[in-house]
Amino acid sequence: MSELPSIELSIIKGLIYDETFSRKVLPYIKEEYFEASAGRFYYKECRGYFEEYGCCPTPGVLSVRIEDSSGLSQDEYSSIQTTLEEVQGSSQDNTEWLIDSCEEWCKKRAVYLALMDSIAIYDGQDKERTEDSIPQVLSEALGVCFDAHVGHNYLEDYEKRYEFYHHKEDRLSFGLSYLDKITKGGLPNKTLNIALAGTGVGKSLFMCSVAANILMQGKNVLYITLEMAEERIAERIDANLLNHNIQDLTEIPRPIFENKVTGIQKKTQGQLYIKEYPTASAHAGHFDSLLKELQLKKGFKPDIIFIDYLNICTSTRYRGGSNVNSYTVVKAIAEELRGLAVKYNVPVVSATQTTRSGFASSDVELTDTSESFGLPATADLMFALISNEQLEEMGQIMVKQLKNRYNDPTINRKFVVGIDRAKMKLYDVEQTAQKDILDSEPTFKYNEEPKFNTNKFADFTF
């Protein structure tokens, strides 16, 4: 009799005789899932043959491969031959049942192996990984599944598409009317959103103000800082939420301070965590581990992530000091942060610096992005924060759309918002302040009939 468990024997049989089964499961099965050497042998042979020829190997092909194999012990050779005889003499299993059973087997084996790996890591037997990697090892094992989705059928899936068009996507409001307007209601999940500004214009102020506003919406906020200490970011958010000048926070008596913070706690169900990393020392992998740790230790799952700021992160793909240009590195960082947003189904908000010429410009463009034009190529939303002496005197800052995947960027391309630097706060200004700044609205509105055609469906026959 074969040494293989019955489910593994059925899987090997499917890999030999059932092409539909093989196409479905081969991308997900791993060699280490098989307990016996015979199972691993047939898996490798079937996979290699399928990848090369696009079909299952016949028993005759496998017999030749067995004879050509070197390095097999007598026991292994005997077990492999016995397994081939058994699969040849048994009936074909139902394909759907076999796929479901194989998926369940893959999940169980992945979890079992992850537990064994975790024990080895904990005991110090694994020299490459530390105890901090155990949550990720277990999480990956628990996430094993066969993805049944093969794509959107344009002609047959029209009902799903129509529902998608009319589904109101969950978005997080900026708390600023024009920013909400240009994004159709706020920030959607799985996106990377970038503020472009010169030094001292207000990148961190912008992120702290929006983070405070989203916290008061009852949402969970994670603020990662690589530029300032955790306490300095918290100080800015205190100034915003307590409505108190930042330089005077130290003068607030302790009882009053406690009462104000307690009052904030009563107004929101959200939580705000601020995590500091040394400049140019952390990348998306570190942030991924932080998110897992917060989930495990605090039960905290953010609704939005702020990263202050992108250019002083590092890349998981390129080591510091390696011979790689800044364009490649910054683009890689942007791609990795957007990947993090997709993985955790949240919006990520960050910032970047302008070039030297962009810092002095009153009309910043995408080309004024410092270090890498690959960043705006990756971002979903990118806008410039522009300040000058005249705007400062009026307590305003200008926002200019540079790239917008959510809406038409030519509508409301420029507008102003109020800024209170002492209280680290952005706010809406009166509509009269937008005069001569807002671009003129297009004459053709979405819900209007085109003037050149009295029937907008005239080209369609029903």
Statement to judge: residues 120 and 191 lie in one domain: no
Nearest to 415 by CA among 438, 391, 382, 381: 438
Residue 255 lies in a domain: yes
Helices 230-242 and 254-267 pack at an angle, to 10 degrees, of: 80
What local confidence, expressed as pLDDT, does residue 372 receive? Answer: 73
For 202-303, where are the E strands, in sequence order? 221-225, 272-276
* Whole-number Å distance between alpha carbons of 166 and 397: 35
Residue 456 lies in a domain: no
Residue 387 lies in a domain: yes
The SS3 call for residue 387 is coil
Residue 223 sits at φ, ψ, to 5 deg, of -115, 115
Residue 104: which CATH number?
A: 1.10.860
Residue 157 lies in a domain: no
Statement to judge: residues 315 and 416 lie in one domain: yes
Domain total in the chain:
2
Statement to judge: residues 396 and 340 lie in one domain: yes
Statement to judge: residues 317 and 384 lie in one domain: yes
Residue 213 lies in a domain: yes
Least confident of 85-99, 172-186, 251-265, 444-458: 444-458
What local confidence, expressed as pLDDT, does residue 436 receive? Answer: 67
Token representation of residue 285: 């992998």
pTM higher than 0.75 for the full model?
no
The SS3 call for residue 63 is helix
Question: What would the mean pLDDT of 142-149 be, rounded to a whole number?
Answer: 75
Domain that holds residue 209: 171-434
> Band of the pLDDT at 248, cuts 50, 70, 90?
very high
Q: What percent of the chain has pLDDT over 70?
A: 90
What local confidence, expressed as pLDDT, does residue 169 receive? Answer: 75
Q: Is the pLDDT of residue 17 over 50?
A: yes
> pLDDT, tens digit, for every residue of 66-109?
888 887 888 888 888 888 888 886 677 888 899 999 999 999 99
Token representation of residue 19: 């092409």
Distances in Å between the alpha carbon of 84 and those of 102, 192, 366, 391?
19, 52, 63, 80
Residues 6+ apart with CB under 8 A from 232: 225
Question: What would the mean pLDDT of 394-421 be, rounded to a whole number?
Answer: 92
Alpha-carbon dihedral sign for residues 20, 24, 27, 32: negative
What local confidence, expressed as pLDDT, does residue 148 receive? Answer: 64
